Chain A
């Protein structure tokens, strides 16, 4: 009997972590193989499905950090601990931490772009012996939009964290400005042995990658993750196709040598 990939399974909400007014992390019951950067289709009958990337992984759970910006996500926010959501997945390739092992690591994240890479940062926070120097540059619109505040504090213990907001409306304990302007502050040793992961809105990724290439990182040392409309997650519906590439199958994580050729 063939498996019907379209039928979602129920998953219980174990915990809800509130970051901002419109961004919560839902800790969902899940057991199975999953990698950071992969995504699930979260659905609520009547409202539809939305692709949400995995922002944390545990023995019996996955974290889904959800921004309340659409029909489905609005409805997700009506649910709380003990309730059930429907899931399908995980889909996509995700980040392979082995690609970064033994190297100096730069992570640049813009806004909710921090969610898909959080698993990578967390992994290397817990396994500092598997890497060299590590820098995380995380940018948000304002200080009210900062995600994973507790993690950012914790991670500081063994890596450089540059936290910046685009505009500060009050005295904030972080930098002000775009992530790209902090690239010169990254402690660089050997660019050939430095890898970078860049995730965020399209313009942020474009300029950040350019900045990293300008300081000498080889293209093959840079990884990006693309956000697209993924209706099925199974390489069928066509919404996420870019050229000969299906973001849901071949991505959403791309090495820049491949990612740079993706023209929408």
Chain B
């Protein structure tokens, strides 16, 4: 059900949510950018609507709410292990259409690729989704090409209007009741969404792993500096590494964590004894790109990449992921004509 609500009405709704939920939304971290005197927009807890950044793309995705950068799994205390506690409250997450599609990919990775992940499942079971409409496309976005520009699976949608009021489409029954009781103005609402982006990509129909033999990957050997930022901003990258941490030098009390990992960074494939795979950055780029637009689909039936373009926004070497996808067609021609 659609409503046109005021800033105050929204904040009242926020207050009631906070009894059982933390609210996570893209917010501005002043001075938190990668260069001096620049800001960073990433996910954090908010209390009021005016903390949410509506007019820019967030540099990092929502995924850290469900898959924290560093997540304690359990504690060691001499011979015993004790599972880490879960947050007392659930999470209301504000995200855009591309990220809502990314959530499906996280679900398929953590819940359906073999046994469901204990920790992810717990956090996932207790979230609500608020879809932030996109009035216009941002730089480097290519959601339309990836088919992720329109979402319907949300608990509520929200679009901030120029006058500071909000249009919301609410599906959560309890919230609808609350908005009706508060006397909010009802009207038909369709969440804002883009229908075209400046950037478009075409994943070749005939794409196969044979494309690994193309010379197109060599460019990245020197251009890519394997910093892994593309993985960390990506809403669909899920890899992690186990890490033990101990509090005292006697080594009897500590914890096991999992921390974000990157297939671009050294050490990702290292096996004991010195073996490693994909030593060149071009090979790592190929591994990542083909995961996003080829082999994930072979396993799950749809592409992993959601076209948010954050990898292009963040790359310090100006490597364009969408540009890379668009080179695949001629690379396929190259390898099939050999």
Residues in A lying within 8 Å of B, measured CB to CB: 2-8, 10, 43, 45-50, 67, 69-70, 72-73, 84, 201-202, 227-229, 231-232, 234-239, 241, 243-244, 246, 249, 261, 263-264
- Give the contacting residue for A244; candidates B270, B272, B295; CB below 8 A: B295
Q: How far is the CA of A69 from the CA of B272 in the complex (A)?
A: 6
A244 x B261 contact (CB < 8 A): no
Provide a sorted-by-A list of 8 A–B residue pairs whose CB atoms are within 8 angstroms: A3-B115, A4-B118, A46-B76, A72-B272, A228-B271, A231-B240, A236-B238, A244-B295
Smallest Cβ distance from B203 to chain A, in angstroms? Answer: 15
Question: Which A residues touch B273, using CB under 8 A?
Answer: 67, 69-70
Q: How far is the CA of A34 from the CA of B76 in the complex (A)?
A: 27
Question: Which A residues touch B243, using CB under 8 A?
Answer: 48
Question: Which range holds the interface residue count of chain B?
Answer: 35 or more
Smallest Cβ distance from B112 to chain A, in angstroms? Answer: 9
Q: How far is the CA of A47 from the CA of B296 in the complex (A)?
A: 32
Nearest CB to that of B267 among chain A residues? Answer: A229
Q: A6-B118, A69-B272, A84-B79 are in contact. List 7 more A-B contacts (CB 8 A).
A: A3-B115, A6-B256, A202-B275, A236-B113, A237-B239, A249-B113, A264-B283
Q: Which of B249-295 contact A (CB under 8 A)?
A: 251, 254, 256, 258, 261, 263, 268-275, 277-278, 283, 287, 290-291, 295
Question: Which A residues touch B274, using CB under 8 A?
Answer: 69
Smallest Cβ distance from A234 to chain B, in angstroms? Answer: 6
A2/B295 contact (C-beta < 8 A), A45-B76, A45-B244, A264-B277 known: no
Q: For the complex, is B69 an interface residue (Cβ under 8 Å from A)? A: no
Nearest CB to that of B268 among chain A residues? Answer: A239
Q: Which of B62-108 contact A (CB under 8 A)?
A: 73-74, 76, 79, 81, 83
Q: B105-138: contact bitstring with A at CB < 8 Å (1 yes, 0 no)?
A: 0000110011111110110000000000000000
Question: Which A residues touch B269, using CB under 8 A?
Answer: 228-229, 239, 264
A243 x B271 contact (CB < 8 A): no
Q: For the complex, is B209 an interface residue (Cβ under 8 Å from A)? A: yes
Q: How far is the CA of A8 from the CA of B263 in the complex (A)?
A: 26
Smallest Cβ distance from A22 to chain B, in angstroms? Answer: 10
Smallest Cβ distance from B109 to chain A, in angstroms? Answer: 7
A7 x B74 contact (CB < 8 A): yes
* Interface residues of chain B: helix, strand, loop or mixed (majority): mixed
Question: Which B residues touch A239, using CB under 8 A?
Answer: 239, 241, 261, 268-269
Q: How far is the CA of A69 from the CA of B274 in the complex (A)?
A: 8
Smallest Cβ distance from B231 to chain A, in angstroms? Answer: 10
Q: For the complex, is B222 an interface residue (Cβ under 8 Å from A)? A: no
Q: How far is the CA of A207 from the CA of B196 in the complex (A)?
A: 51
- Give the contacting residue for B270; candidates A2, A4, A43, A229; CB below 8 A: A229
Q: How far is the CA of A235 from the CA of B241 in the complex (A)?
A: 12
Smallest Cβ distance from A24 to chain B, in angstroms? Answer: 15
Question: Which B residues touch A241, using CB under 8 A?
Answer: 291
A232/B298 contact (C-beta < 8 A), A6-B118, A246-B113 known: no
- Report, nearest first, the 8 A-B pairs whose CB atoms are least far apart: A238-B239, A70-B272, A244-B295, A235-B114, A69-B273, A264-B277, A244-B298, A45-B76
Smallest Cβ distance from A70 to chain B, in angstroms? Answer: 3
Q: How far is the CA of A155 from the CA of B243 in the complex (A)?
A: 41
Smallest Cβ distance from B232 to chain A, in angstroms? Answer: 14
A235 x B113 contact (CB < 8 A): yes
Nearest CB to that of A70 among chain B residues? Answer: B272
Question: Which B residues touch A228, using CB under 8 A?
Answer: 269, 271, 277
Question: Which A residues touch B278, using CB under 8 A?
Answer: 264
A49 x B251 contact (CB < 8 A): no
B110 x A238 contact (CB < 8 A): no
- Give the contacting residue for A45; candidates B117, B241, B246, B275; CB below 8 A: B246
Question: Which B residues touch A237, using CB under 8 A?
Answer: 239-242, 258, 261
A238 x B263 contact (CB < 8 A): yes
B240 x A243 contact (CB < 8 A): no
Question: Which B residues touch A69, using CB under 8 A?
Answer: 272-274
Smallest Cβ distance from A228 to chain B, in angstroms? Answer: 7
- Give the contacting residue for A2; candidates B114, B116, B261, B275; CB below 8 A: B116
